[in-house]
Amino acid sequence: MFDNKDKTEINELGEFGLIEYLTKAVELTQSTTLKGIGDDAAVLDFSNKKTLISTDLLLEGIHFDLRYVPLKHLGYKAVQVNLSDIYAMNGKASQITFSIGLSSKFPLEAVEEIYEGALIACKKYEVDLIGGDTSASAQGLVISVTSIGYGEADAIAYRSGAKEGDLLCVSGDLGGAYVGLQLLEREKQIFLENPQIQPDLEGKDYIVERQLKPEARKDLIQLFETYGIQPHAMIDVSDGLASEILHICKASQVGCKLYEDKIPIDPMTYDTAREFGLDPTVCALNGGEDYELLFTVPQDAYDKVKNQLDITIIGYITEEAAGCEMISKSGNVHPITAQGWNAFKK
């Protein structure tokens, strides 16, 4: 993974030295941050806005594999997946805390790379790093990010807001992160069997990036504001389209119709899924980690969403009793299940 020759051992610095070293490049840019790193707690001021808070825990071997995830990407992704939850509420992300547990195999240079990635994400998305915690870990790397943001009370989009007749929409395209992961897993296996062989990811940049370097859809929240679009319900696609649709429908006590032929899938995702013998639709439904936004809007917002190149209308919301169903390309109707659609043979 990394060569510890000529590397600095963390205990040479001590905990306080490490924190100081890692956070020396931190700049505060948000007017809502009154106090960042350096006291017992950070101090924020959202005046009359509602505060949004979300947290994620990332564990080595469970959520990431350092054999193919570069540390800088890991820091970047850890921040992105967290900001995505604030955007999924139709909020503005403004601060994060970043906590880290390190086993002895990590030299200072490794932690530095993680922070480099995290700080690039902070800068790009205009959020302040305002604190965290640092500890030794008995085994492996642990990262926990908390993101903080704000929104107007009537702009915040809950999972529970979908109404019968709403249009079901999704941003970007789906399945890419999952197919990218299959590719990385395959190359890892080849590498483990024969370390002389270099990974062959030629021409697969898009899906590899979808897996390693996801981008939270802050731009969509800005687009909603510009065009006066108020989503009734929204969720980010972290676990696959099927699971997220079911979350919205359950929380909103509604049903839905999803059209398989409308699900946006990038051609590279499509072709690579086929190479792996996978159904591209199943990759979009059950894959996950795309960090796109799934949302519903009232029908009178149709004119506003239909011409947005990055938004696809994939179905509509029905009454609860009608259930959650997908109309396949061949016109058959299937119940949407969180997993298990896999097993269905078309």
Count the site residues for Mg ion by CB under 5 A: 1
Q: Does residue 133 belong to the site contacting Mg ion (CB under 5 A)? A: yes
Give the range of 19-27, 48-56, 220-228, 272-280 binding ligand ADP by CB under 6 A: 19-27
Q: Cα separation of 78 and 58, whole Å? A: 8
User: Does residue 318 contact residue 245 with C-beta atoms inside 8 Å?
Assistant: no
Among 4, 99, 230, 308, binds ligand ADP (CB under 6 A): 99
Out of Mg ion, ligand ADP, none, what residue 38 binds, judged by CB under 5 to 8 A for its kind, is ligand ADP
Q: Which residues contact 5 (CB under 8 A, 6 or more apart)?
A: none
| Residue 304 per-residue DSSP state | H
Q: Does residue 202 belong to the site contacting ligand ADP (CB under 6 A)? A: no
Among 91, 107, 132, 172, binds ligand ADP (CB under 6 A): 132
Q: Which residues contact 56 (CB under 8 A, 6 or more apart)?
A: 78, 81, 82, 85, 144, 145, 146
- Number of helices (H) and strands (E) in the chain: give both, helices first: 10, 14
DSSP 167-236: EEEEES-SSHHHHHHHHHHHHHHHHHH-TTSPP--TT-HHHHHHHHS----HHHHHHHHHHT---SEEEE
Q: Does residue 45 belong to the site contacting Mg ion (CB under 5 A)? A: no
Out of ligand ADP, Mg ion, none, what residue 37 binds, judged by CB under 5 to 8 A for its kind, is ligand ADP
Q: How far is the CB of 53 from ligand ADP (least distance, A)?
A: 15
Give the range of 81-89, 98-106, 170-178, 272-280 binding ligand ADP by CB under 6 A: 98-106
Q: How far is the CB of 129 from ligand ADP (least distance, A)?
A: 6
Q: Does residue 40 belong to the site contacting ligand ADP (CB under 6 A)? A: yes
Residue 302 burial by Cβ neighbours in a 10 Å radius (0-12, 13-18, 19+): exposed
Tokens linked to 175: 């399945």
Nearest Cα residue to 145 out of 56, 77, 53, 37: 56
Q: Does residue 23 belong to the site contacting ligand ADP (CB under 6 A)? A: yes
Out of Mg ion, ligand ADP, none, what residue 122 binds, judged by CB under 5 to 8 A for its kind, is none
As a residue count, the chain comes to: 346
User: Does residue 234 contact residue 88 with C-beta atoms inside 8 Å?
Assistant: yes
Out of ligand ADP, Mg ion, none, what residue 120 binds, judged by CB under 5 to 8 A for its kind, is none
Q: Does residue 219 belong to the site contacting Mg ion (CB under 5 A)? A: no
Q: Does residue 19 belong to the site contacting ligand ADP (CB under 6 A)? A: yes
Among 55, 103, 134, 308, binds ligand ADP (CB under 6 A): 134
Give the range of 17-25, 215-223, 249-257, 325-333 binding ligand ADP by CB under 6 A: 17-25
Q: Which residues bind ligand ADP (CB under 6 A)?
A: 19, 22-23, 37-40, 98-100, 129, 131-134
